[in-house]
Amino acid sequence: MRSANYYHKQFESANYIVVNGVKMTEKEYKAMHSKPRKKAEKKFTSITILPIQMTDMMKSVRVLKSLVAYHRNGYRQWGKIATTIMGLREIKKPFDDVVIYTKQSIRLVEKIKKIAKSNDKDVFQYIKKLQWKLEDLQKELDQLVQGITTSQVMRQFKDHECINGEGRRLGLRILCQRSRKAVSDLDDICNKLNEIEQNGIDVFEYNENGKK
C-alpha cells in the first residue's frame, strides 16, 4: 500500500509544469501568456478640461501675483519708502483691494480645478463666482493704475528701485505697464468665463435619459 507521503508528492508534482526546461506552476505559466490589461483611456468632457482652460487663461494676468508680492514684501525690500508709496490716498485702497480680490480669485480657481477633476457639474456655479470676482478685480486694478499715475510717484522716486526695479525685484514702473495690459486681458477672461458658464455641459455628454 502506498504511503500518504507518496500521494502528497504526486499531488504536488501535478501542480507544476516544465516549459523549455523551466519548472513553474500553472499559475505562473498563465501569467506569462496572459495579455496585459490596457489602461482605460482618460475621457475628456467640457468639465474635465476646465483646469487646463483655467491655467491658460490666468497666464496672461500673472502680474496680479507680482502685485501681491510687492504689497507683501515692499517694506522688507525697500523700507519706509515702499510703505509711504502704498499708503498714498490714490494708491492705498485700490492696491489693498487688488491684493484681496487676487487671493480670493486664486482660491476660486483652485476650487474649480478640484471640482472639475470629478466631472461635477456644480463647477459652473464657481465659474460664475470667479467671473464676478475678476470683474471686481478688473475695476480695482484699473483704479490702481490710475492712482499710481496721478500720484506722480513714478516721477518723484524715478531713481529708486521700488519704482524702476527689474528682474526678481520688480518696481512699480514695470508692474504698472503690465497691469494696463492685464485690465484688458481680464475683460477677455470674464467674457470667456461667462461663455463657459452659459454653455454648461455639452449636449453630447448626456445619455438618453438626460443624465450625465
Q: Tell me the pTM.
A: 0.75
Q: What are phi and psi of 43, to 5 degrees?
A: -95, 130
pLDDT of res. 40: 53
**206 pLDDT tier (thresholds 50, 70, 90):** very low
Residue 31: pLDDT above 80?
no
What is the rounded CA–CA span in Å between residue 168 and residue 73?
12
Q: Looking at residues 41-67, what average pLDDT do you find?
A: 88
pLDDT of res. 32: 66
Beta carbons within 8 Å of 133's beta carbon, 6+ residues apart: 101, 104, 105, 108
Q: Looking at residues 180-187, what average pLDDT do you find?
A: 96
**58 pLDDT tier (thresholds 50, 70, 90):** very high
pLDDT of res. 199: 87
pLDDT of res. 85: 96
Q: What are phi and psi of 47, to 5 degrees?
A: -95, -50
Q: Looking at residues 121-150, what average pLDDT do you find?
A: 96
Cβ(47)–Cβ(116) under 8 Å? yes
Residue 99: pLDDT above 70?
yes
Query: How many CB atoms neighbour CB 36 within 10 A?
Result: 5
pLDDT of res. 147: 97
Residue 13: pLDDT above 70?
no
Q: Looking at residues 2-29, what average pLDDT do you find?
A: 58
